[in-house]
Amino acid sequence: MLFLVRMDVNIPSHVPPAEADAIKLAEKNYSQELQRSGKWPHIWRVVGEYANYSIFDVESNDELHGLLSGLPLFPYMKIHVTPLAQHPSAI
């Protein structure tokens, strides 16, 4: 199942910079592991925002929820998920 996911990140200003840096490093490592596994085949930055659009290729809604909630930045994210289906005009 393919999903388009928009993630907007908002780390509160009260989070100490060293803690924020550690969370971002853990996020990078986790996301790259998912990319290598094929579960997260595409990620694009939204220009001028701390946000991204990503494509996830997973077996179920529950698997996607588990992967997203495992993101170290998850507590600081607003996430919008759109399920995708094959378009009849696609070649």
| Average per-residue pLDDT for the chain | 98
Q: If you average pLDDT over residues 16-36, what whole number do you get?
A: 98
Coil, strand or helix at 8: strand
Per-residue model confidence (pLDDT) at position 75: 97
Mean per-residue pLDDT for 7-32? 98
Give CA–CA dist 63/83, Å, rounded: 13
Tokens linked to 63: 């698997």
Q: Does domain 2-84 sit in CATH 3.30.70.1060?
A: yes
Answer for the pair 27, 21: CB distance below 8 angstroms, yes or no.
no
Give the confidence band of 4 by pLDDT, cuts at 50, 70, 90: very high
Structure tokens that stand for 42 in this block: 């595409």
Q: For residue 7, give every residue at least 6 positions away whose Cβ sits within 8 Å of its Cβ, in sequence order, or none.
A: 51, 52, 54, 71, 73, 77, 78, 79
Give the mean model confidence (pLDDT) for residues 7-25: 97
> Considering the entire predicted model, what is its pTM?
0.93
pLDDT tens, position by position, 53-62: 999 999 999 9
